[in-house]
Structure 1
Amino acid sequence: MKHTIASTTVPHRTIRLILGDQLNPQHRWFSEVNDATTYVFMEVRQETDYVLHHAQKILAIFAAMRDLAQQLRDAGHQVHYIAIDDTDNLQSVPTNIDALISQYQATVFEYQAPDEWRLDQQLYQHGRRANIPWVMVDSDHFYTNRNEVSDIFTGRKQWLMEFFYRQMRVTHHVLMEDKKKPLGGQWNYDHDNRKPWRGNPPEPQDTRTLHDHSDLWQTIVNAGVKSFGNPQARQLAWPLNRQEALQQLDAFIDNALPQFGDFQDAMSVKSWRLFHSLLSFALNVKMLNPREVVTKAEAAYHSGRASLAAAEGFIRQILGWREYVRGVYWANMPEYAEKNFFGHSRQLPSWFWDGKTRMNCLSVAITQSLDHAHGHHIQRLMVIGNFALLAGLDPAEVHRWYLGIYIDAFEWVELPNTIGMSQFADGGLLATKPYVSSAAYIDRMSDYCKGCYYDKKLRVGESACPFNALYWDFFQRNANSLAKNPRIGMAYRQLEKMDTATVAEFQKQAKIILENIDTL
């Protein structure tokens, strides 16, 4: 039945599902204790196996789920926890729900809106066949609803994040001098945030809490869950509850935000995190609310602890980009996942899984990702993603790799960043140009080129940096698609100045590189 009839023999009983990226102890659900409501957590193979995940991602999510479940129990809530190795675990969300509805004789099932299209559809379709009320509520997390970004751009020829970001600044009165004028007279200080880091000032100390979850990790392995990357099970440093996430937020605001603006695009072999917050995991599993993160960054500017450029650059990532890509995701799924503007189909080289390549920049970025389940946005975009696009790797394969390797990667945020921003596979819906470069950009923003097997200055020859020939070959072979793009006109003007022999030479070099991609 689709509605509940009052009865003295059938008590009202509600089951509420909490997914692994819905770990917000401040959700409205928890404001009152009700013995007729049972909160359900599930560790299921459905969620560990849909792509190959980094070991730390699986471990941290399971550990954080268990932490919140215990918090709820301690607060007096009824909790049913299904562990990965429980004998009655049916290993999928819908089948476990059905079993629990039967076990508890539930009269209502409730869940928070999933952020991934596949889960949203799975629960919606299953709910259509349910014989009890099946209710979805908001996760109480984002600034915008799923369709708000699409509504903002209704009737406009092109979607632009900058337009959306300014709207958000005005609507939520963030870094504003008055209702229409931004503080400092500028909306965006991106130009001030592109300095390389040469060791000074020193990176802040990592003050995150270390956890020993070797027993849980062994349980995960024994259950047959496959993964890759270093689990760091005895020294897991990711926050597992809201208290730890808040401590990490405060440490970032005090110790790293003042330098974040200057060096947010910098890369170095000397530091895997530099001045980045490492808050994206806590944000994306909802331990932290984006509003409190933005508020603290804004307060740091007003109190003189951080420059306007630093505060604005950080806030733009959360209030602007994070909300924007979510809107792009919901406006374009499910077709968005299949986008392949250039028709790229090359498989990922084997060293994407172990970092063993002579290209130092890629070796460092990939090895760091395998070790820490993290890489900052320039490593993801302008090193790994840059190579993937220039080399013509299959964007669907690249998407699955990004979704698996990074601890903060959930499809709503990762897919647009990969398919749209990194691989330009949507043909320009998200990004206004392909984000590619030769070795020069990587050398300017990092120390990766020092001591590399390949020479950053050479275009051709055995020791020439592969980025150089691949860069020009990419523009040459995609001239019909890209030559009229006003944001990359300079590349084509340079190509026009090259003689036929020079073009043929770098095309030959690119062919050799791609034929030997596994041994670079």
Structure 2
Amino acid sequence: MTQTTTRWLFGDQLGPHFLDAPDQRVVIIESRAVFRRKAFHRAKAHLVLSAMRHRAVELGDRCQYVVADTYAEGLAQVDGPLSVCGPTSHAADEFVRSMDRVTVAEPRGFASDRDQFRRWADGRGQKRLLMEDFYRDARRRLDVLMDGDEPVGGRWNLDADNREPPPASGVLDVAEPWWPAEDEIDQQVRADLDAMEQDGMKFVGRDGPRRFAATRDEALHVLRGFLEGRLAQFGPYEDAMLSGDPWMAHSLLSAPLNLGLLDPMEVVHRVEKAHAAGDVPLQSAEGFIRQLIGWRDYVWHLYWYLPRDYRSRNHLAARRKLPAWFAELDADAVEAACLKDVLAGVRDHGWVHHIPRLMVLGSYALQRGWSPAEVLDWFHRCFVDGYDWVMLANVIGMSQFADGGVMATKPYTSGGAYVNRMSDYCGGCRYSPKIRVGEKACPFTAGYWWFLSRNSERLQGNFRLAQPLKGLQRLADLDAVIDQEDRRGSTAP
């Protein structure tokens, strides 16, 4: 008699699309060793455990839920053959493939499969693997926002329309996000995490209230609220920042998507439908869809396509260690308004949107010359939507330029003028974005020129930096800037 194969679900494979049949038997293993290896954000640990336990309750008697020290110990409690959808990390993938009784199916939860990406990438020859080219290919292949062979509206990318600074009022007129309500499962998770900390396990950040969906039903509520009350304003203001409003018009769907609670294509089709009904302008629909079938899929596939030594690249020879105030999310130690508010958002929620990640946190780390590997690890641990596949290319390539230009055509950093234009932070800050030397010198403005000075030889030949590098030679106070920032180093600004 043939034994029934049980589907093993990892904690980021929790949606119905990870099962082959509605009545399929399931095992979920809660491994405590995962939290011992890294000091994760407490809210992230809470979200993942809450999502896993909620899923087990939904599956009922069909699910064997195992709490063990390690996955290997947990599997020892499970009988018979297992199948699993391709995991989302190199380490987990190697682990499941090392076991004879585990059958590994193709990964799920993405809009394109690996063979499709490989054919596209291999066909590029010596050309750059630009996200924009991949995105257009995906639009055609998936028939998303297409009018025959042409993009709806005649333009592939409406990013130029989506760079509005925040409203002068300091308030974005959108509906408040739909918030999940915690239940007895969340209470037990919090108690278990308290016990782990008492046993010496380390976490960072604050836990609660839970802001991100832990069940598919909650994720669908968040999606519905976004479509009806927030998406229309998402496009124009997706790059803007407002103090005191970390959410703005963003979807808050990255965490449930990365837990596997939603399939990206179901979200894409809902956005398309909202645009077709006239409820959402094209610039917002296209901008959000580009994040899903463009950027999200792109970084997922690069994770598997790029060589395994990609994570150790350090083109700019940045080797300074993360300072304790940053590593421990000590926003109270910071006076620079933008960095203080953004770091507090990470501390309190384990989340800020993509511009604070890139142009505040990542930019500051790049300017200070912090180790890309340490910055990568920090982003992975401290964000509720952070997984190895999410952060590898985003941090090593896009944020820290440690790959020398594989991912981005220039380092993404700027002086305080960018933050001043795209936020309301600078008006009440003790520093001035226009000053680079002295007590009021903006750490981003001074840090930008300090960064260029330290790396001018490595960045020579980058056409997008030709003008700034020329400007560097004309700074009469460059020596003073260098001396000031050398002394500031990694102290909290």
| CA gap 1:215/1:32 in 2 versus in 1, 3 angstroms | closer
Q: Aligned partners of 1:330, 1:293: CA distance in 2, in Å?
A: 24
1:283 is displaced (CA, Å) by: 0.5
Q: Aligned partners of 2:380, 2:114: CA distance in 1, in Å?
A: 21
2:153 corresponds to = 184
TM-score, normalising length from structure 1?
0.89
Which of 384, 394, 399 lines up with 1:407 in the alignment?
384
Amino acid at match of 1:28: L
1:115 corresponds to = 88
2:8 corresponds to = 17
1:395 corresponds to = 372
Q: Aligned partners of 1:505, 1:111: CA distance in 2, in Å?
A: 58
Amino acid at match of 1:121: E
1:381 is displaced (CA, Å) by: 0.1
Amino acid at match of 1:345: R
Amino acid at match of 1:197: P
Amino acid at match of 1:365: V
Is the counterpart of residue 136 in structure 1 residue 98 in structure 2? no
Amino acid at match of 2:155: Q
| CA gap 1:228/1:30 in 2 versus in 1, 3 angstroms | farther
2:206 corresponds to = 230
- In the alignment of these two chains, the number of paired residues is 481
Amino acid at match of 2:88: D
CA contact (8 A) 1:117 1:333 kept: no
1:337 is displaced (CA, Å) by: 1.6
Q: Residues 36-62 of structure 1: CA distance to partner in whole angstroms, max 9, x if unpaired?
A: x4x211111232233211111111111
TM-score, normalising length from structure 2?
0.94
Is the counterpart of residue 331 in structure 1 residue 305 in structure 2? yes
Is the counterpart of residue 80 in structure 1 residue 81 in structure 2? no
Amino acid at match of 2:133: F
Is the counterpart of residue 153 in structure 1 residue 121 in structure 2? yes
Q: Aligned partners of 2:59, 2:307: CA distance in 1, in Å?
A: 34
User: In terms of mean alpha carbon deviation, does 455-464 or 250-259 score higher?
Assistant: 455-464
CA contact (8 A) 1:147 1:331 kept: no
Fraction of identical pairs, as percent: 36
Amino acid at match of 2:301: G
Query: Unaligned stretches of 5+ in structure 1?
Result: 1-6, 84-88
1:110 is displaced (CA, Å) by: 1.5
Q: Secondary structure at the match of 2:148?
A: coil
2:319 corresponds to = 345
CA contact (8 A) 1:147 1:330 kept: no
1:439-450 matches, within 5 Å, as: 439-450=416-427
| CA gap 1:139/1:153 in 2 versus in 1, 3 angstroms | closer
Q: Secondary structure at the match of 1:135?
A: strand
Q: Aligned partners of 2:126, 2:279: CA distance in 1, in Å?
A: 39
1:429 corresponds to = 406
Q: Aligned partners of 1:206, 1:183: CA distance in 2, in Å?
A: 29
Q: Secondary structure at the match of 1:454?
A: coil
1:467 is displaced (CA, Å) by: 1.1
Q: Residues 315-337 of structure 1: CA distance to partner in whole angstroms, max 9, x if unpaired?
A: 10001000111111111252122
1:140-289 matches, within 5 Å, as: 140-154=108-122, 155-179=125-149, 181-198=150-167, 199-212=170-183, 213-223=186-196, 224=199, 225-232=201-208, 235-289=209-263
| CA gap 1:462/1:200 in 2 versus in 1, 3 angstroms | closer
1:46 corresponds to = 33
Q: Residues 200-227 of structure 1: CA distance to partner in whole angstroms, max 9, x if unpaired?
A: 5423213222214233211122134421
Q: Aligned partners of 2:426, 2:159: CA distance in 1, in Å?
A: 25
Q: Secondary structure at the match of 1:42?
A: strand
1:156 is displaced (CA, Å) by: 3.5
Superposition RMSD on alpha carbons, in Å? 1.7
Q: Aligned partners of 1:200, 1:405: CA distance in 2, in Å?
A: 27
Q: Residues 127-176 of structure 1: CA distance to partner in whole angstroms, max 9, x if unpaired?
A: 1xx4xx32001343212223532331212321101110000011111111
Is the counterpart of residue 71 in structure 1 residue 71 in structure 2? no
User: In terms of mean alpha carbon deviation, does 473-482 or 318-327 score higher?
Assistant: 473-482
User: In terms of mean alpha carbon deviation, does 138-147 or 277-286 score higher?
Assistant: 138-147
1:317 corresponds to = 291
Q: Aligned partners of 2:174, 2:286: CA distance in 1, in Å?
A: 20
Amino acid at match of 1:518: T
Which of 48, 54, 67 lines up with 1:61 in the alignment?
48
Is the counterpart of residue 124 in structure 1 residue 97 in structure 2? yes
Which of 476, 485, 489 lines up with 1:510 in the alignment?
485
Q: Aligned partners of 1:240, 1:519: CA distance in 2, in Å?
A: 35
1:4 corresponds to = none
1:269 is displaced (CA, Å) by: 0.9
CA contact (8 A) 1:389 1:423 kept: yes
Q: Aligned partners of 1:52, 1:286: CA distance in 2, in Å?
A: 23
CA contact (8 A) 1:386 1:437 kept: yes
Q: Secondary structure at the match of 1:26?
A: helix
CA contact (8 A) 1:197 1:268 kept: yes
Q: Residues 432-479 of structure 1: CA distance to partner in whole angstroms, max 9, x if unpaired?
A: 110000000001101111221222211111221111121112112212
| CA gap 1:173/1:135 in 2 versus in 1, 3 angstroms | same
Q: Aligned partners of 2:402, 2:56: CA distance in 1, in Å?
A: 40
| CA gap 1:203/1:270 in 2 versus in 1, 3 angstroms | farther
Q: Aligned partners of 2:181, 2:308: CA distance in 1, in Å?
A: 38
User: In terms of mean alpha carbon deviation, does 480-489 or 367-376 score higher?
Assistant: 480-489
Q: Aligned partners of 1:113, 1:369: CA distance in 2, in Å?
A: 30
Q: Aligned partners of 1:306, 1:489: CA distance in 2, in Å?
A: 40
CA contact (8 A) 1:25 1:68 kept: no
Q: Secondary structure at the match of 2:55?
A: helix
Higher CA-based Rg: 1
Q: Aligned partners of 1:156, 1:340: CA distance in 2, in Å?
A: 22
Query: Unaligned stretches of 5+ in structure 2?
Result: none
CA contact (8 A) 1:22 1:139 kept: no
Amino acid at match of 1:221: D
